[in-house]
Structure 1
Amino acid sequence: MSSEASQQPGEYADVLIIGAGISGIGAAYRINEKNPQLTYTVLERRSQIGGTWDLFRYPGIRSDSDIFTLSYPYEPWTRPENVAEGADIRAYLTDTARKYGIDSHIRFDTRVVSADWDSATDTWTVRTVVAGPDGESEKLYRSRFLFCGTGYYNYDDPYTPAFTGIEEFGGDVVHPQFWPESLDYTGKRVVVIGSGATAISLIPALAQRAERVTMLQRSPTYMMSMSRFDPMVQFIRKVLPQRLAHAVVRVRNAMFHVLTYALFRKAPRFGRWLIRNRTIAALPPGYEVDVHFKPRYNPWDQRMCLVLDGDLYEHISAGRAEVVTDHIDHVDASGIVLTSGRHLDADVIVTATGLQLQALGGIRIAIDGDEIKPTDRFVYKEYLLEDVPNMAWCIGYTNASWTLRADMTARAFAKLLAFMGEHGYTHAYPHIGAATMEEKPAWDLAAGYVQRAPHALPRSGTRRPWHVRHNYVLDAIDHRFDRIEEAMVFGRVPAPERVISA
């Protein structure tokens, strides 16, 4: 820390990391691993570690990808399951942060409001609101670098359509993003609106205690069943040392997802046939699979939903859960009236209707006093923003585990910081220049939450290094042979005390 930095207002750290979820904890580890001379602070708006896995507390919350690719490559997952519950993922993140001393760098209950870059000093000033026992107070932080592990959706405002008459409903209406711990659904009739990943994991958990659970969907979603415990994974972990077994299983699972995705995209008719036949085999004879489980789109046009151990199909077969494919006309005091005229009696309505995309956690970003819109900027190598100095942004894959790219992003940013330290640079940013760049969606999904806000995320170009891909293999190759100086602008402020030592 320079003497000049210590004389200016605000707590100083070389790197500020926003968010203490998978992305933020991983970034802290990688940055410290590559740059142990740099100080860092993690700013977390919630009261504990976890991010998404602390926010979502609905029954049945679990990962929708295998835990070995969702966990970190340097910290083995030690539990036996291949798919993990939300509470266990949160515990894993907490234990990882404690093991590597990251937890002592976290400032909890600290919501970041804005970040302002000053080109005269090459520093970020970050304005936060801190929640305390006596109310909220404002606190400033200053840093050379900023890492945004803020996720991709709005934590405060989920997507809930306007259902006519919902205010007349006499029961409970809840959104999974804000599940009330006090909600008692035992012996009650529950209608879950939606058929995405949240609904698919929520319904089997509700069906264990509710009188009956109905999944109400406008159109079907692709679903594939996965075992909670994988015999091959168990065998690998039995015969190999822990760290080696973790690495082998992680690569094996990642390649399985990559190859399966490629197969379904290249041969969609085969994919549709395979999924349909596996669904028919899992449900009672004569079940209307083509009505409730045959989407109009091709596999992976939207993210595939994971059915764990066939639990959803088992509850349907046992009569504890039902799938209804229809549209809502209105809600009345006792349930939902469909356009077909059918009435779904309900004591509880769960609006599992999705998220709202949001870039950088809604933080206001300014450069030398001028606000910029992240959504107007192209993404460089999937982690920097066009003409924005010393700031990284972490976004995961749509067709694979979030952590596969999050760890790649953290390592790339850590490598950039080390390069700058070695050369005495105090700022760096990617620059397109005069070249024209065609734009494509950063997320190539036809999912509702993407289609509702196609310009909510920073922009993707159509050629590297401005192309946001969802291809783990190609990204891994690119990062392995990365040329740090490609399309980058480097510089330094005049004062020698501001140079980062290597």
Structure 2
Amino acid sequence: MTEKVQAQVADLYDVVIVGAGISGINTAHHIRTQLPNLNYAIFEARDKIGGTWDLFRYPGIRSDTDLQTFGFEWKLWVEKRAIADGASIARYLHEAAEEDCILPHIKFGHRVDSANWSSEDQAWNMVVRTSQNSQTTVRARFLVLGSGYYDYKEPLKPQIPGLYENFKGQIVHPQFWPEDLEYTGKKVVIIGSGATAITLLPNVAKKAGHVTMLQRSPTYILSTDNTVGNSWTYRVLPKSWALRLSRWSFMWMTAMIFYLCRAFPGKARSKLEGMVAEQLPKSIPLDPHFRPRYQPWDQRLCFTPNGDFFESMREGKAAVETGHVETVTEHAIILQSGQKLEADIVVTATGLKLALGGHIKVSVDGEQIDLANRYAWRTAMLQDVPNLAFILGYVNASWTLGAEATAHIVCRVLQHMEKKGLSSATPKLRNPSSIRPVPIWNLESTYVKEAASDLPKCGDSGPWKGRTNYFWDLCRAKYGSITTGLEFTYAQE
């Protein structure tokens, strides 16, 4: 029996932000501080702050970059560890929202189903469904999509022969890890070689009988010291100065590693592989398990804090296998080499199903818009879509740095509109043939390449060019032109 849906009409907001995770909280801070005269609201479909860091509950869930840069510039991360667990990150976000007076502006249990831009009204008309199954119509002058880039409802199903048809054990996706999953003493096979798999292996190995990471091809893994705060700067400088200096140090270090890997791939490969070889037990060879076919940073570099990934292998609790799956039987995975991996539980850590905008149906004057079939202006707004911004982070640095650059651009556009009495700003590409399409994320990861058609694209010149370097991008966001490539409409008297 279908429950009756109630409808009501809400007031007009200057800005509506979708999502109360890293992106949404950061955008709200900049709106509040740079445009205090505007009224805004954050619509969060779930009942908690945190986004990814509250949704994902798999063992060991943690950041894949340092919290010095993954944390906010306006609320520095103070704990003496660089990589932190998901619960700590969610708690940090809640503290940030509460201290910055953002919490009262968050409407929990409010999912945006659709958004239609009305040129006549110069506003977004949004259908919002609440957790009580009521339906509200919300209007906003400007809409910011801060809901991330992946599907919150459906996992990415890997194409593994026989897995879903034959396997009699339990199949688990990290995004939807069962709270009651019992894996003590069991044989667990984790399929994948990215950050999630590398995080899962040492944490599942603490209780499981044995854990095997099965990969089609290896990735680059870098062990890092997870301790922060013991340098002379913390002893000599005021705490706030030391924290800020640490944040900038991590920014430069990450950028330096990326550019050195790209400039000297041969030497970088040798160095990374050498560091791995020193940590492997003699029973596990470097080749083929830790000798990637691609150059460093063609895919995202994976970090293992304090080398916990390799420690579990040295203790004999975990292993790695490299090869292609021939088929999956009732209780085992058979590789094309003939090798048989027995399993009670299979974890598919093969990536995420991408979905920009959280499945919101976006339309302009009633005509539905495919967000992926658009060029991205300043990696922040979409071609021919008025007063809409989206937030994507970096793939070669912390997500938050990309969110920071976008927030500054959005605020400057809004400030320009307020100053000039404008009601809308629309990115316009007058001559599409003048630019060459470029993927918005320059990664060779399988799930990213497969989902390229689901993300907007960038160009190779002008304001359509994608982001490459945070320092340059932040400079452009703060001081570059925010009128080139935009068409404005004056507010009607």
Q: The TM-score by the shorter chain falls in which range?
A: over 0.9
Report the equivalent of 1:437: 435
The yes-or-no answer on 1:351 pairing with 2:348 is yes
The yes-or-no answer on 1:240 pairing with 2:245 is no
Q: Return the alpha-carbon distance in structure 1 between the equivalents of residues 135 and 196 of structure 2.
A: 35
The yes-or-no answer on 1:406 pairing with 2:403 is yes
Normalising by the residue count of structure 1, what TM-score does the alignment of the two structures yield?
0.93
Q: Return the alpha-carbon distance in structure 1 between the equivalents of residues 312 and 422 of structure 2.
A: 60
Report the equivalent of 2:481: 483
The yes-or-no answer on 1:316 pairing with 2:304 is no
Q: Return the alpha-carbon distance in structure 2 between the equivalents of residues 370 and 20 of structure 1.
A: 28
| 2:179 partner letter | E
SS in 1 for 2:484: coil
Q: Return the alpha-carbon distance in structure 2 between the equivalents of residues 354 and 409 of structure 1.
A: 25
| 2:192 partner letter | G
* CA shift for structure 1 position 284: 2.3
Report the equivalent of 1:389: 386
* CA shift for structure 1 position 10: 2.8
Report the equivalent of 1:258: 255
Report the equivalent of 2:472: 474
Q: Return the alpha-carbon distance in structure 1 between the equivalents of residues 183 and 332 of structure 2.
A: 15
Indicate which of 128, 138, 141 corresponds to 2:135: 138
Report the equivalent of 1:228: 226
SS in 1 for 2:287: helix
Q: Return the alpha-carbon distance in structure 2 between the equivalents of residues 448 and 389 of structure 1.
A: 32
Report the equivalent of 1:36: 36
Contact 2:409-2:478 within 8 A present in 1 as well: no
Q: Return the alpha-carbon distance in structure 2 between the equivalents of residues 29 and 291 of structure 1.
A: 47
Cα displacement string for residues 376-414 of structure 1 (whole angstroms, at most 9, x for unaligned residues): 211111111112111111100010000011011112211
* CA shift for structure 1 position 11: 3.5
| 2:107 partner letter | R
Report the equivalent of 1:270: 267
* CA shift for structure 1 position 263: 0.4
The yes-or-no answer on 1:122 pairing with 2:122 is yes
Q: Which runs of 5+ in 1 are unaligned?
A: 1-7, 497-502
Q: Return the alpha-carbon distance in structure 2 between the equivalents of residues 479 and 240 of structure 1.
A: 30
Normalising by the residue count of structure 2, what TM-score does the alignment of the two structures yield?
0.95
* CA shift for structure 1 position 347: 1.4
Cα displacement string for residues 196-240 of structure 1 (whole angstroms, at most 9, x for unaligned residues): 1100011110011111100011111111111111365x5433433
Q: Return the alpha-carbon distance in structure 1 between the equivalents of residues 75 and 330 of structure 2.
A: 51
SS in 2 for 1:340: coil
| 2:307 partner letter | G
Report the equivalent of 2:148: 151
Q: Return the alpha-carbon distance in structure 1 between the equivalents of residues 23 and 229 of structure 2.
A: 29
Rate the CA distance shift 1:348–1:235 in 2: closer, same or farther, 3 A. Answer: farther
Number of residue pairs the alignment of both structures matches: 484
Calculate the aligned-residue CA RMSD, in Å. Answer: 1.5
The yes-or-no answer on 1:372 pairing with 2:378 is no
The yes-or-no answer on 1:448 pairing with 2:446 is yes
Identity of paired residues, percent? 41
Report the equivalent of 1:281: 278
Report the equivalent of 1:4: none
* CA shift for structure 1 position 493: 3.1
The yes-or-no answer on 1:205 pairing with 2:203 is yes
Report the equivalent of 2:357: 360
Q: Return the alpha-carbon distance in structure 2 between the equivalents of residues 55 and 236 of structure 1.
A: 36
> Which deviates further from its counterpart, 105-114 or 34-43?
105-114
Indicate which of 323, 327, 330 corresponds to 1:330: 327
Report the equivalent of 2:99: 99
Report the equivalent of 2:162: 165
Q: Return the alpha-carbon distance in structure 2 between the equivalents of residues 245 and 272 of structure 1.
A: 33
Report the equivalent of 1:3: none
Report the equivalent of 1:294: 291
Rate the CA distance shift 1:208–1:451 in 2: closer, same or farther, 3 A. Answer: same
Q: Return the alpha-carbon distance in structure 2 between the equivalents of residues 242 and 90 of structure 1.
A: 23
SS in 1 for 2:333: strand
SS in 2 for 1:186: coil
SS in 2 for 1:489: strand
The yes-or-no answer on 1:215 pairing with 2:213 is yes
